[in-house]
Structure formats: structure tokens, C-alpha cells
Structure 1
């Protein structure tokens, strides 16, 4: 039964997935609300652009699932809330899972649930909480045939890059991705690395578990499209981008351009005009 849900998540022709994450409001950070202040409007724009999936929370999933019609993006449901993204970290950090996450996902007709696996310098207790969340979630997912997406996130020290602290060191990314596989992930949503040409190592260490690469912080159009193209050539099964789509002035055009790269192997120079509004 997991296969039936995965079939709704991954494109039937390419076997790849583009998931647009707009679950950022869960994390109580003002900067994360850019582009999704009116989330109902954001969801409508994305539905029209037709990505494979939209990643939402229990409080916002209805904006997608209440839309009539058989053809719309699949729902990926965020199951955990954390307070680890601030420019100044709070004295007590946490990562908490929602109650009955899989049953809530089933009621919302989700195709997948997603949970974090943080590695934060100086905060091993948060990693412990994440592992405990996953250990509880995994048997529930198996029992109800719900695919489990684990999101291994490697942070830089907050003093170096407060806020969205992505560390692209592949030597740290690799073992955390492998730990996510060992914990039972059906899908991995992983950090990008500093040198995109090394990303085949992440794919290799994950084995048969498909890798979707997260977008991280904002990048300019050319850089984002070029990186995505190179990632797809490295063997990843898709992308999960959020702010690089919803904070873009032409989020619909950016979505269509990324879909063409992910599913059709389009080159960045062939789709940049869609992003710029020239086509």
C-alpha cells in the first residue's frame, strides 16, 4: 500500500518528484512568512503551476485538500514543529511531533509524512528528540502503509550563520543521511552540498532510498536552475524547494521551469525565460 501513495507522489513518466514546501509558518519565524503571508493564495498559485506535491501542516492542509477536482498536487504532511531557526537561539531548544501524526495524515489524504533529523552544533538533545520522534513514527507508518520522509539537516554554528544555518560539508551530510536510511526512511529530503558534483556520494550512501534535495536559503535564478540541473544529473529523484519558489516574484514560472528540469531534463538556458516572464 505504500507503493500506491508513492505513485501519487512521484511523476508517472519520469519517476521524479518536485515537492514545494510551504510549511514554514510552523516554526514561528517572521522571515519564514515571506511569500506565504496569504497561504490560500500561495496554494492556488502552486496548484495552477502543477508541481507533484505541496508540503503543508495540519493547520493549512485544507487549502489544498478542499480544492475540487481529481488532478492536483499530492499532500506531504509536516509532522514536527521546532524552534531551532532563530537568529538568536532560545535557551531551551525542542523538536516536537504532533499527536497521532499518521492518523492525521490519513484523514487529510496525505501521500507522505515528513519529519526532521537535526544535527545542530552544541544541541545534541535536539538530535535525541528527533530520533525519538522517528522511532515512534516509523512503526506507525509501516502499520498504516504511509511513506516516511526523513529530513536530515546539518546546521552551521548559529554564531556563524544564524537563522537558516545550512552546512554544505558533505562529510557531515553523508553519515546523517545514512542514519536516516538506517532509521527506516522511505524517502530522504537531504541538504545540498558545497560542490554539487559530489552529490552522487549522497545518492550512493542512501542506496535504494530516493533522495530529494532541499533548496536551503534563497539563491538567484541562474544559480538555482543550474544547481538543480546538475543535481538531477547526479542521480537524485527530485527536489523539495520552498522559499526559492514562494518568495520569487514569478513563483508560477519558477515552478514550471523547475518541473521541466526535473521531469524533462530541460537545460537551464531553455527555461530561464519562463522565470523572467519572457515566455
Structure 2
């Protein structure tokens, strides 16, 4: 199936053609986190640090896209959030629509993003919303990034794996592709073999979520393993903007993803940079 021309052009900006890779920084946690995260205080600084480090896409709401547009480089892409989490709601897994695909197109976004939380009371509405976004994106030539993740982004990966299991990620990822997603972001399922199964089941570009704060070594190793079995990149938020040196951490991720360095070499360079202060 031939994608609409607008979608083809935007996908070329989202995924670097020469390396078939993408380093995405998620700066959308003001719409998902149950509390404010201090690393998001200076969004202009975060945008500049990530770009210097090699990041090429930002996930961001329209409000801060307007505030930071002056900092964006010519080849940097913006993926606009269409959903927010009802983090203060007593019922779990509730995601609400906050924007339209047409609005994102008008504002100049290169993609739209929807967080897809299943198993909650509103799962039928969630699936219907994802289907509508897929249909509108196909009609308007807008790439659709689906975040096929565990329902909570703020518990540890081990807790979420125990509660929901690998099959949740596999089902969610496949469902999103069936409904029109062009790129799927999902959690690291625990090992390389399981992630390879998700890649095989989806057959679209896959990126790995950074998730809760983990060590630099674990993050880089996870990304190296994912790239080896077919991922095209990462989508990392807290592990970048809460890091002591967001530029250095982004550069380390870019070494692994854009340049195909080993995690060990990228970690050595990162540690040397941090040691220099």
C-alpha cells in the first residue's frame, strides 16, 4: 500500500534515511505525570541540549511547541500529543483525547502521538479513538505514533511486567498497527528475544520507551539489544530530562542508535564527559 505523499515526506524527517534511525525525546510528561517533574522547568534548555546531543524528534504538547519553536533546528521534528492521562482519576488506565489530527497538521507537526492504555473501563472507547486517529492520519497524510505501553508509565518495569505480562505489550503493539499506526513505541519486555517477537508481530518501525529512571548502563544496553533485533530507535523522557547532563546522555543514545556504537563504548564516553564536569 502506497502511503499518501505528505506522510512519506514527514516520515523521512522523523526517521533519518541514511541510518534508518530515530532518537525521540519525550517532553510531554506535564500531561501524563501525576506530579510535576523538575527537569521540565526550562523547556528551551532541554530542547537545545537534546538537539546538540543528536536527538531528532520531540514529543510535546502544542502549548510548549509554541514556546520552544524558536529553538528548533531545521531538521528537527515535532510529534504532537493527541491524548493525556487522567492521572488524578480514581479509575485506572483512563486516557482522554485533547486534540485532533487536523489541528496537528495545521500547527505544523510531523506526527501525532496517542498513548494507548488497554484493560481499563474505557478500553472500547480507547480502541475507537485509536481507530479514528488512524483513519484521519491516512486521509490527511500525517504519521501516527502509537505508544503501545503498559497502562501506567510511572510504576517500575518489573512491577508492570508482573501485573500485565508480555502478552499485554504484544497485543497492544499489534492492535495499534492494525488500526493504522506508522510507528509503535513500546516498553522493553525484559529481554532481547521477547522484543524481537514484538518487532516480528508489528512489521512497522519500533522504538523503545525509556520508562522510569534507570542506570545509564542499563538504558544504553537495552537500546543496543533492541537495535540488534530490529528497533529503529528510542523514545526517552525522564532518563534524559531528569539526568544530570541531558546533552551527554542524549549523545550516548545517539551513538548507539544513529551511529551503531556498542553500549559499552557509548557509556565510557558518557562517563568521561560527566567526570569532566
Secondary structure at 2:149 match in 1: strand
Q: Which residue of 2 aligns with 1:176?
A: 172
Q: Which residue of 1 aligns with 2:161?
A: 167
Q: Which consecutive residues of structure 2, in runs of 5 or more, have no partner in the other structure?
A: none
* 1:130 correspondence with 2:126: yes
* 1:102 correspondence with 2:101: yes
Cα deviation code 1:143-189 (max 9, x no counterpart): 21001111112247x9xx58996437322211221111111111111
Cα separation, 2, equivalents of 1:12 and 1:258: 18
CA contact (8 A) 2:93 2:118 kept: no
Closer/same/farther in 2, CA of residues 53 and 164 from structure 1, 3 Å limit: farther
The correspondence of residues 216-255 of structure 1 with structure 2, limited to 5 A, is 216-255=211-250
Q: Which residue of 1 aligns with 2:110?
A: 111
Q: Which consecutive residues of structure 1, in runs of 5 or more, have no partner in the other structure?
A: none
Q: Which residue of 1 aligns with 2:60?
A: 56
Cα separation, 2, equivalents of 1:234 and 1:183: 24
Secondary structure at 1:46 match in 2: helix
CA RMSD of aligned residues (A): 2.4
Secondary structure at 1:66 match in 2: helix
Cα separation, 2, equivalents of 1:145 and 1:112: 9
CA contact (8 A) 1:173 1:191 kept: yes
1:23 to 20, 28, 42: 28
Aligned residues: 266
Closer/same/farther in 2, CA of residues 274 and 29 from structure 1, 3 Å limit: farther
Q: Which residue of 2 aligns with 1:65?
A: 69
Q: TM-score, normalised by structure 1?
A: 0.87
Cα deviation code 1:224-259 (max 9, x no counterpart): 111111111111111111101111101101101101
Q: Please report how far the alpha carbon of residue 93 of structure 1 lies from its aligned counterpart in structure 2 after TM superposition.
A: 6.2
Q: Please report how far the alpha carbon of residue 35 of structure 1 lies from its aligned counterpart in structure 2 after TM superposition.
A: 1.1
The correspondence of residues 128-207 of structure 1 with structure 2, limited to 5 A, is 128-155=124-151, 161=155, 166-167=160-161, 169-207=165-203
Secondary structure at 1:235 match in 2: coil
